[in-house]
Amino acid sequence: MIVVNSVQTLRRLIQTHRDMGHRIGFVPTMGNLHAGHLSLVKTAKQHADIVVVSIFVNPTQFGPNEDFDSYPRTFEQDQALLEQEGADIIFAPEVAEVYPNWPNLTRVQVAELGNNHCGASRPGHFDGVTTVVSKLFNMVRPDCAVFGQKDFQQLAIIRRMTSDLNFDIDIIGAPIVREANGLAMSSRNGYLSTEQKEHASFIYQTLSWMKQQIENGERDYRALEQAAKQRLTEQNFKPDYVHVARQDNLEMAQDGDQQLVLLIAAFMGKVRLIDNMTLEI
């Protein structure tokens, strides 16, 4: 495994592999890796000959009161995990390498898909995501890229951005990886104690309950959302949102829609947790 820090070096290295006929897979991360990230690498290895993993804590996707400065940076541990998983290249650039003309005047925005759900709660967040991902796509120039389904909205936005901007990249969604109790794996779980992690599984339990209600015939989705919020509140969560949406365009679901996604964002103390579950009816 090779670690590179500059775009120039990365491009030379990747071109060498292209000249050999290798297919390039890409997994963008912000580091602090866990089993969920490693599952993305496994998926990429199934679709590509060479897997590039970026580790870059992107400042433009953090709001003014969010945890950019305190976000865990565990590069040595991440490097060891990626080597064990069989990644080929780690791209770990400094901020100045990704944003050479700071502040960045150019933004990439997928307006409609990024305005609701997490986009409403974190203004500008998805603009930061799409901007940095488009820059990384231009740097790595992969044949395919893998994103986790845990952030369903982000995956939908990346798919649309890739199509709209004519990136010749296959976007692959990888399933959510969960703890034994159902808690979706996340770097922010590191902020939780063992007891809090156990309690946080109630978010997954709430999604499962909502899914069962719909499968049993519930079609008043707004009432179901309110009931789920109440369940979370009674368990000392502070719900950010609970939504039943359409999978294709992330608009709020109505009776008659068939492909649904259940979306929850809730705070446990100061830690904001997200999760989702899809279903077809």
pLDDT score, position 70 = 87
When the pLDDT of each residue in the chain is averaged and rounded to a whole number, the result is 96
Contact indicator for 234, 209 with CB cutoff of 8 Å: no
Q: Is the pLDDT of residue 64 over 90?
A: no
Q: Are 211 and 279 in contact (CB under 8 A)?
A: yes
- Domains identified in the chain and CATH numbers: 2-174 (3.40.50.620), 187-276 (3.30.1300.10)
- pLDDT over 90 at 155, yes or no: yes
Name the strand (E) or helix (H) holding 79. helix 75-85
Rounded to an integer, what distance in angstroms lies between the CA atom of residue 102 and that of residue 79? 28
Whole-number Å distance between alpha carbons of 4 and 7: 8
In this prediction, residue 67 carries a pLDDT of 84
Using only C-alpha atoms, what is the Rg of the chain? 19
pLDDT at 215 over 90: yes
User: pLDDT tens for residues 87-100?
Assistant: 999 999 999 999 99
SS3 130: helix
Question: How many Cβ atoms are within 10 Å of 236's Cβ, its own excluded?
Answer: 11
pLDDT number for residue 228: 98
Query: Beta strands 144-148 and 24-29: pairing type?
Result: parallel
Cα(153)–Cα(15) distance, integer angstroms: 32
Pairing type for strands 170-174 and 144-148 reads: parallel
Distances (CA, A) of 263 to 4, 61, 148, 201, 279: 37, 20, 15, 15, 12
Q: Is the pLDDT of residue 119 over 90?
A: yes
Per-residue DSSP letter, 187: G
Averaged over 230-245, what is the pLDDT? Answer: 98
- Do 224 and 238 form a contact (C-beta atoms < 8 A)? no
**pLDDT given for residue 90 in this prediction:** 98
According to the model, what pLDDT value does residue 65 have? 80
Identify the weakest region by mean pLDDT among 20-24, 139-143, 184-188. Answer: 184-188
Across the range 58-69, mean pLDDT stands at 89
- Give the residue-averaged pLDDT of 24-28: 98
Q: Give the tens place of pLDDT for each residue, 28-56.
A: 999 999 999 999 999 999 999 999 999 99
Q: What percent of the chain is modeled with pLDDT above 90?
A: 94
Residues labelled as active-site residues: 37
pLDDT of residue 26: 99
